[in-house]
Structure 1
Amino acid sequence: MKSAVETLNPTRVRLTVEVPFEELKDSLDAAYKKINQQVTVKGFRKGKIPARVIDQRFGRGAVLEEAVNDALPKFYTEAVNEAAVNPLGQPDVDITELKDGETLAFTAEVDIRPAIEIPDYSGIEVTVDAVEVSDEDVEKSVEELRERFASTNPVERAAAEGDIVTIDLEAKVDGEVLEDGVASGVQYTIGSGELIDGIDEAVTGLEADGEATFTSELKGGSAEGKESEVTVKVTAVAARELPELDDDFAQMASEFDTLEELKADSRKRLENMKQYDQATQAQERVLDELLKLAEVPIPEKLLEDEVNTRKHNLVNHQLAQMGIDLAKYLEIQGKTEEEFDAETEEQAVKGIKTQFILDELVNREKLNVNQEELTEHLMRRAASSGMSPDQFAQAVVEGGQVPMLVGEVARGKALAVVVEAAKVTDSNGEVIDLEDDEDEAETVEGAVDGAADDADDADADTDKNADKNEA
Structure 2
Amino acid sequence: MKASWEKLEKNEGVLTVEVDESQVAEALDQAFKKVAQKTNVPGFRKGKVPRQVFEARFGVESLYQDALDIILPVAYTDAIQETKIDPIDRPEIDIQQFEKNQPLKFTAKVQVKPEVTLGEYKGLEIPEKEFSVTEEAVEQELKTNQDRHAELIVVEEGATEKGDTVIIDFEGFVDDEPFEGGKAENYSLELGSGSFIPGFEEQVEGMSKDDEKDVEVTFPEQYQAENLAGKPAVFKVKLHEIKRKKLPELDDEFAKDVSEYETLAEYKEDIKKRLQEAKDKEEDQYRESTVVEKATEVSQVEIPQVMIDTETNHMIEDFQNRLKMQGMTLEMYYQFSGQDEAALKEQMKNDAEKRVNQSLVLEAITTNENIGVTEEELNEELEKLASMYQKTAEELKSIFTANGNIESLKQDIANRKSIQLLLENSVNVPAVEEVAEKAEETVEE
Name the TM-score class by shorter chain. 0.7 to 0.9
For 1:418 and 1:241, the matched residues in 2 are separated by 52
For 1:361 and 1:275, the matched residues in 2 are separated by 26
Structure 1 residue 322 corresponds to structure 2 residue 333: yes
Structure 1 partner of 2:269: 264
For 1:314 and 1:76, the matched residues in 2 are separated by 33
Q: 1:279 aligns with which of 284, 292, 311?
A: 284
Alpha-carbon distance, 1:163 to partner = 2.5
Q: Is the 8 A contact 2:362 2:419 kept in 1?
A: yes
Structure 2 partner of 1:83: 83
For 1:349 and 1:400, the matched residues in 2 are separated by 25
Q: Is the 8 A contact 1:180 1:222 kept in 2?
A: no
The 5 Å alignment of 1:196-207 reads 196-207=197-208
Structure 1 residue 230 corresponds to structure 2 residue 235: yes
For 1:259 and 1:45, the matched residues in 2 are separated by 87
For 1:286 and 1:30, the matched residues in 2 are separated by 54
Query: How many equivalent pairs are there?
Result: 414
For 1:250 and 1:428, the matched residues in 2 are separated by 41
Cα deviation, 1:24-79, whole Å, max 9, x if unaligned, reads 22123233333333322223444443444333321232234443443233333333
Structure 2 partner of 1:25: 25
The letter for the 2-side match of 1:365 is: I
Cα deviation, 1:151-195, whole Å, max 9, x if unaligned, reads 221222122323322212222334444442221222223333332
Structure 2 partner of 1:71: 71
Structure 2 length as normaliser, TM-score?
0.77
For 1:21 and 1:370, the matched residues in 2 are separated by 40
Q: Is the 8 A contact 2:216 2:235 kept in 1?
A: yes
Distance change >3 Å, CA 85–CA 242, structure 1 → 2: same
Alpha-carbon distance, 1:359 to partner = 4.1
Structure 1 residue 374 corresponds to structure 2 residue 382: yes
Superposition CA RMSD, Å: 3.8
Distance change >3 Å, CA 56–CA 186, structure 1 → 2: same
SS in 2 for 1:87: coil
Structure 2 partner of 1:354: 358
SS in 2 for 1:239: strand
Structure 1 residue 254 corresponds to structure 2 residue 254: no
SS in 2 for 1:324: helix
The letter for the 1-side match of 2:425 is: A
SS in 2 for 1:122: coil
The letter for the 2-side match of 1:207 is: S
For 2:274 and 2:314, the matched residues in 1 are separated by 39
For 1:113 and 1:220, the matched residues in 2 are separated by 41
Alpha-carbon distance, 1:223 to partner = 5.5
Distance change >3 Å, CA 252–CA 111, structure 1 → 2: same
Q: 1:298 aligns with which of 298, 303, 321?
A: 303
For 2:411 and 2:3, the matched residues in 1 are separated by 31
For 2:339 and 2:19, the matched residues in 1 are separated by 56
SS in 2 for 1:108: strand
For 1:329 and 1:41, the matched residues in 2 are separated by 53
Cα deviation, 1:376-396, whole Å, max 9, x if unaligned, reads 34656x6xxxxxx469x99x9
For 1:72 and 1:291, the matched residues in 2 are separated by 38
Structure 2 partner of 1:42: 42
Structure 2 partner of 1:458: none
Structure 2 partner of 1:109: 109
For 2:337 and 2:8, the matched residues in 1 are separated by 37
Alpha-carbon distance, 1:373 to partner = 3.2
Q: 2:248 aligns with which of 243, 252, 269?
A: 243
Alpha-carbon distance, 1:281 to partner = 1.0
SS in 1 for 2:335: coil
Moved more, 355-364 or 104-113: 355-364
For 1:29 and 1:328, the matched residues in 2 are separated by 52
The 5 Å alignment of 1:400-439 reads 400=403, 403=406, 407-425=411-429, 427=431
Structure 1 partner of 2:134: 134
Distance change >3 Å, CA 37–CA 253, structure 1 → 2: closer
For 1:222 and 1:76, the matched residues in 2 are separated by 50
For 1:220 and 1:6, the matched residues in 2 are separated by 52
Structure 2 partner of 1:194: 195
SS in 2 for 1:96: strand
The letter for the 2-side match of 1:109 is: K
SS in 1 for 2:158: coil
Unpaired runs of at least 5, structure 1: 331-335, 383-388, 431-471
Structure 2 partner of 1:173: 174
The letter for the 1-side match of 2:84 is: A
Cα deviation, 1:227-284, whole Å, max 9, x if unaligned, reads 3321111111222222333334333343344444433333333333333222211111
The letter for the 2-side match of 1:55 is: E
Structure 1 partner of 2:56: 56
Distance change >3 Å, CA 401–CA 262, structure 1 → 2: farther
Q: Is the 8 A contact 2:172 2:179 kept in 1?
A: yes
The letter for the 2-side match of 1:246 is: D
Unpaired runs of at least 5, structure 2: 324-328, 435-445
Q: Is the 8 A contact 1:111 1:301 kept in 2?
A: no
For 2:52 and 2:14, the matched residues in 1 are separated by 37
Distance change >3 Å, CA 202–CA 57, structure 1 → 2: same
Q: Is the 8 A contact 1:2 1:17 kept in 2?
A: yes
SS in 1 for 2:90: strand
Alpha-carbon distance, 1:210 to partner = 1.7
For 1:328 and 1:36, the matched residues in 2 are separated by 51
Cα deviation, 1:123-169, whole Å, max 9, x if unaligned, reads 11211312243333333222222222222212221223233222122
SS in 1 for 2:300: coil
For 2:57 and 2:173, the matched residues in 1 are separated by 77
The letter for the 1-side match of 2:384 is: E
The letter for the 2-side match of 1:131 is: F
The 5 Å alignment of 1:456-471 reads none
Q: Is the 8 A contact 2:200 2:216 kept in 1?
A: no
The letter for the 2-side match of 1:347 is: D
Distance change >3 Å, CA 144–CA 93, structure 1 → 2: same
Structure 1 partner of 2:146: 146
Structure 1 length as normaliser, TM-score?
0.74
